């Protein structure tokens, strides 16, 4: 019944909206949640849904950061508009690695529960290790100081998210910190980097799926995107405020604990 599928889409939209911006893997969480609620759709549409639902999260970060990202605001000075164009040029440079590697390796690694669990644990350990050894001073403390080479390198770290359970935001933020970029700057740039990458990935999925949708599929997809949008509005603001005062250790602990629980569940289920 469509009402049950809508309810499932709402749950998955909330999960996407919360986890997209936290370093805990949104796709991994949606796959895990779907193990319990199971959308009653084809495998092809489910794959499409898990990707396109991220458009809601994209619209949320665009809404929150519209002033920083819109270069045609003529109430700004010429220099301020130039800074926006320079930011976009760095975002485009940062998308180059994901654009190349993503096209070559997209869908190559399956969204298997054990792969997700392993990556949750592995990257949880990495997060804690890096935070324990991370220096307190950074060479880059503003988006304006971010170089094009820095942007390209951060984009390279983003490619790690091809492996399910890794976390796109987590890999890019910690990658930026390893390069000596302030945690807040790394997070902001990671969020902006997601806009063209996730929009492009969604477009590819839509083209691949084709133009035939059932009424249920249309409703489920729209509900998921809308719920993800409103949930992301809250999650983005929370995370940006959180990282100004805290580090990533709690997310590392969470990932390890969840990964262990998933492994136990997988083997007990068999």
Q: Phi first, then psi: give them for residue 98, nearest 5 degrees.
A: -65, -35
45: tokens are 């549409």
d(CA 138, CA 155): 19
92-127 pLDDT, tens digit per residue, is 999 998 888 766 666 666 667 888 889 899 989 988
CB of 190 closer than 8 Å to CB of 151? no
d(CA 157, CA 79): 31
Angle between helices 43-52 and 26-37 (to 10 degrees): 140
Burial class (CB in 10 A: 0-12, 13-18, 19+), 141: middle
State the pLDDT at residue 110.
67
Q: Tell me the pLDDT band of 195, cut-offs 50, 70 and 90.
A: very high
Q: Would you list the domain boundaries of the chain?
A: 2-269
State the pLDDT at residue 232.
95
Q: Answer with the residue of higher pLDDT: 165 or 187.
A: 187
127-176 pLDDT, tens digit per residue, is 888 888 766 678 898 999 999 999 999 999 988 888 888 888 888 988 89
Average pLDDT value for the chain = 88
71: which residues sit within 8 A by CB, 6+ positions away? 81, 84, 85, 88
d(CA 22, CA 61): 13
205-234 pLDDT, tens digit per residue, is 888 888 788 888 999 999 999 999 999 999
């Amino acid at each position: 019944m469509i009402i049950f599928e809508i309810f499932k889409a709402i749950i998955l939209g909330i999960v996407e909206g919360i986890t997209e911006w936290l370093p805990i893997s949104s796709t991994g969480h949606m796959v895990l949640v779907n193990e319990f609620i199971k959308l009653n759709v084809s495998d092809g549409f489910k794959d499409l849904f898990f990707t396109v639902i991220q458009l809601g999260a994209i619209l949320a970060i665009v809404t929150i950061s519209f002033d920083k990202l819109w270069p045609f605001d003529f109430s700004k000075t010429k220099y301020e508009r130039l800074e926006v164009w320079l930011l976009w040029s760095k975002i485009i440079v940062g998308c180059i690695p994901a654009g190349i590697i993503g096209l070559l390796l997209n869908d190559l690694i399956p969204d298997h529960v054990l792969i997700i669990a392993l990556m949750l644990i592995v990257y949880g350990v990495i997060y804690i290790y890096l935070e324990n050894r991370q220096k307190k001073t950074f060479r880059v403390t503003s988006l304006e100081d971010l170089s094009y080479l820095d942007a390209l390198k951060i984009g390279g770290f983003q490619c790690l998210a091809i492996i399910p359970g890794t976390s796109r935001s987590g890999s890019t933020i910690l990658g930026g910190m390893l390069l000596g970029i302030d945690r807040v700057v790394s997070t902001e740039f990671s969020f902006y980097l997601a806009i063209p990458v996730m929009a492009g990935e969604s477009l590819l999925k839509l083209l691949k799926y084709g133009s035939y949708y059932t009424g249920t599929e249309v409703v489920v997809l729209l509900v998921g995107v809308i719920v993800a949008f409103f949930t992301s509005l809250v999650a983005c603001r929370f995370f940006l405020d959180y990282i100004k005062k805290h580090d990533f250790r709690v997310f590392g602990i969470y990932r390890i604990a969840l990964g262990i629980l998933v492994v136990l569940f997988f083997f007990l289920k068999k």
